[in-house]
Amino acid sequence: MARTPQWEKLPMAQGDPKPAWPLPSVTPKFATWSLGGGRPFGCKEDACKRWHAGIDLTGAPDGAVIIAPEDARVVGIDKSWSEGAKAAFLRTGSGMFVVLGGFKASSHKEYGIQTGAQVKKGDKLGRVLGSYGMIHLETYVAASRTANSVWWKDEPAPDGLLNPTNYVERMVGDTASLVQTRQRHEALAALGYYKGDVAAPWGAASDAALRAAQAVLGVVVDGKWGPKTEDAIQAALAPSCKDGTCDEAPVAAPTDALAGAGRIGWFVIGGVTATAAAIGVGLFLATREGRT
């Protein structure tokens, strides 16, 4: 779960209207709650200074192929990353600087990828390091950037950092995640727990509403919007279906943050509504701790 409100102020990444999912052999799983505050894996909260600046695309086995999400020039390849993994840096034709961290060392050589190469959307870039188990994605305004930036505790977001949430959601089918305060207020309001202004900052009324929802939904009542709480709220917002008949789900008013992103509170894939628990549709939020 994010630990600073700064990430909510970031503009959403634009890029290709239909970017490719970077892990074509892996069922899409991603941790939107990791952006702007998730600790590196295994790092103690009171001793950890480095924060996430992106989203984890999780569940990747050793050797899973990594592809380019859109047309781009390779600015860096096999760059130092984390836990023995390597990273690729791409400058896209759409004007973004994209970081993909989690490569197996030298795996780019299998596909003849080198710094300066032009790649097309879907071109193979390398393979996932199994012990890392995912790709960590970051997006920035391209400008003259040649590397990623860390996001340190108590400091503002890195210059040019973009929120990749909607970018990732476009990869997997225009879904709507509850990643901003307004969206969370709207979800809690739709369920009847929040009565205040949905545009207001998170405050005491928000906390009380969240705790009330947690108590009813059977998750730990801690006032934190973690992955289990998100899954429970997503499921509560989904319509109740039995014998092919579905009751209407509560619907909150749309926001600018959801432009082109489906309906709030549940996933809409190919016209079929599904809860986060419906794994058969191929999409659910990750519940593992984010790592950088």
Same domain? For 80 and 164 the reply is: yes
Whether 130 maps to a domain, the answer reads yes
The answer to whether 36 and 119 are in contact (CB under 8 A) is no
Chain-centroid distance of CA 206 in Å reads: 23
Same domain? For 146 and 20 the reply is: yes
Amino acid at 182: R
Same domain? For 17 and 109 the reply is: yes
* Structural domains counted in the chain: 2
In 184-271, at which residue ranges do the beta strands (DSSP E only) sit? 241-242, 245-246, 267-269
Same domain? For 63 and 145 the reply is: yes
Who has greater pLDDT, 290 or 175?
175
- The model carries a pTM of 0.68
pLDDT higher than threshold 80 for residue 26: yes
For residue range 29-42, what is the model confidence (pLDDT) as tens digits?
Answer: 887 656 665 566 66
- Report the C-alpha gap between 59 and 247 in whole angstroms: 33
Domain final residue, candidates 172, 204, 237: 172
- Report the C-alpha gap between 285 and 169 in whole angstroms: 11
What is the predicted pLDDT for the residue at 32? 64
Range of the domain at 156: 5-172
What is the predicted pLDDT for the residue at 144? 84
Whether 145 maps to a domain, the answer reads yes
Neighbouring C-alpha atoms within 13 Å toward the C-beta of 12: 18
Same domain? For 269 and 205 the reply is: yes
Whether 290 maps to a domain, the answer reads no
Name the percent of the chain lying above pLDDT 90: 49
Whole-number Cα distances in Å, 205 to 32, 62, 164, 266, 283: 24, 45, 29, 24, 32
For residue range 222-251, what is the model confidence (pLDDT) as tens digits?
Answer: 998 877 888 889 888 876 655 655 555 454
Helices 227-237 and 181-190: crossing angle in degrees, nearest 10, is 50
For residue range 49-73, what is the model confidence (pLDDT) as tens digits?
Answer: 667 788 889 899 999 999 999 999 9
Measured distance between the N- and C-terminal CA atoms of the chain, rounded to whole angstroms: 14
Same domain? For 141 and 210 the reply is: no
| Contact residues for 208 (Cβ-Cβ < 8 A; gap 6+) | none
Comparing CA positions, the residue from 83, 145, 72, 161 lying closest to residue 115 is: 72
Tokens of 283: 């999409």
Domain final residue, candidates 140, 172, 204: 172
Same domain? For 65 and 189 the reply is: no
